[in-house]
Amino acid sequence: MMVQTDNDVVIRSATPDDATAIARVHVSSWKSAHTGVLPEEYLETLDTDSRLGEWKLILSEGRGSTIVAEADGRTLGFASWGPSRDEDAERDDVELYAIYLDPEAWGRGVARDLMRAVLSEVRPGTPMSLWVPATSERARHFYRRHGFHPDGIERIDEVGGTPVTQVRYRRG
């Protein structure tokens, strides 16, 4: 996949060579989005190296699909999806595992472009789910704008020693 967007961003399939840039975006996005929500001590432990090994494995083994958004030779964000991991998922259900942007790219339409690219790769009508922190109103609004809605299922994940309520959103 390779798509040129209206805002001079290129969206393309990720390769194992993108692991470092994806890990960098993943960590910087988490730190910015979760400041004040998760303990500072935990956020300070997050670094690119801690995510790099995981992303190298995901990309080299081809786990699901991952795309990156780039502009001026710099990775601005990424999205990753594949078979749903939910207990109640049907065989062909899809889950959006991650969509993260470098905080400097927030508000520039890059997330919208990534989401459109993901949705164009998923067969129309295919049920798709994702999990979002209940406290993340900005993210919840974004997903609603793209046709996802909470389905009433929640879970509590422990992140950095803090319980975080996650809400499942679905579409299709």
Per-residue pLDDT for 59 more than 90? yes
Instruction: Retrieve residue 145's tokens.
Output: 């704008």
Instruction: Write a three-state SS string for the chain.
Output: CEEECCCCCEEEECCHHHHHHHHHHHHHHHHHHHECCECHHHHHHCCHHHHHHHHHHHHHHCCCEEEEEEECCEEEEEEEEEECCCCCCCCCCEEEEEEEECHHHCCCCHHHHHHHHHHHHCCCCCCEEEEEECCCHHHHHHHHHCCCEEEEEEEEEEECCEEEEEEEEEEC
Domain assignment of residue 153, yes or no: no
Domain assignment of residue 150, yes or no: no
pTM above 0.85, yes or no: yes
> Can you give the pLDDT at residue 5?
64
Domain assignment of residue 160, yes or no: no
Domain assignment of residue 82, yes or no: yes
Task: Identify the CATH number of the domain in which residue 117 sits.
Answer: 3.40.630.30
Domain assignment of residue 162, yes or no: no
Q: Which of 156, 153, 3 is nearest to 87 (CA)?
A: 153
pLDDT 10s digits, 61-120: 988 999 999 998 899 999 999 999 999 999 999 999 999 999 999 989 999 999 999 999
Per-residue pLDDT for 149 more than 90? yes
Distance CA 128, CA 126 (A): 6
Matching residue, tokens 């470092």 = 20
**For the chain, what percent of residues have pLDDT higher than 70?**
96
> Can you give the pLDDT at residue 4?
66
Domain assignment of residue 152, yes or no: no
Report the sign of the C-alpha dihedral through residues 23, 169, 136, 155, in that order.
negative
Per-residue pLDDT for 8 more than 80? yes
Domain assignment of residue 167, yes or no: no
Q: Over the chain, what is the mean pLDDT? A: 93
Domain that holds residue 78: 2-127
Domain count, the chain: 1
Per-residue pLDDT for 47 more than 70? yes
> Can you give the pLDDT at residue 63?
87
Domain assignment of residue 138, yes or no: no
> Can you give the pLDDT at residue 35?
86
